[in-house]
Amino acid sequence: MLMLCRTQGSDDIYLYNAKSYRPGTDPMTAMPDPTAPTLGFLLNDVARLLRKRFEQNAGASGLTRAQWQVLAYLSHAEGISQGGLADILEVEPITLARQVDRLEAADLVERRPHPSDRRIKRLYLRPAALPILGEMRAVGEATRAEALAGLSEEDRERLGELLSTMKNNLVQLCGTSCRQKELAHD
């Protein structure tokens, strides 16, 4: 079992093996193993490796991870403006425009004009994207299963709860602009 611990005088949080915990000490102020990764580094490494493994599993699709990401967001927010999607994906609008150009050329996405502002383009999935979304979901499920191998169903649920709580805390702490970005494009 792993425990989260904070070092005295620091905001760094470390993971500890509960078997090495000494009774009578405060686990939140215990001295960390200097070789143990901080929570931030560990989360970053897990996210990076999940993306890498997803790309390996989806390699035969011919789409990039960035293109998969555009399709995934559009499946939940069709009609979003191109600029709004760029904000959510945290990419420059020109970068997204190139990705959408490729997806449009593959007949997976279409741009439609905004009804009252012709400068704005809204994004929609084309029918050809639907089977690809099914494939993408299957690849995602397989990748998650690989990553969660060895964890009980209870541990998987608890991990999801903990990460959701962390995300909610951070969204609140980011301030209005972060919350607006997360919610404005729903």
Residue type, 53: R
Q: What is the pLDDT of residue 174?
A: 84
CA-wise closest residue to 12 among 29, 21, 20: 29
**Higher per-residue confidence, 28 vs 137:** 137
56-78 pLDDT, tens digit each: 988 877 888 888 899 999 999 99
Collapsing DSSP to helix, strand or coil, 102 comes out as helix
Q: Pairing state of beta strands 109-113 and 121-125?
A: antiparallel
Q: What is the DSSP letter of 111?
A: E
116-171 pLDDT, tens digit each: 888 899 999 999 999 999 998 999 999 999 999 999 999 999 999 999 999 899 88
Q: What is the pLDDT of residue 9?
A: 55
Could you tell me which residues come within 8 angstroms of residue 25 by beta carbon, excluding any fewer than 6 positions away?
none
100-120 pLDDT, tens digit each: 999 999 999 999 998 888 889
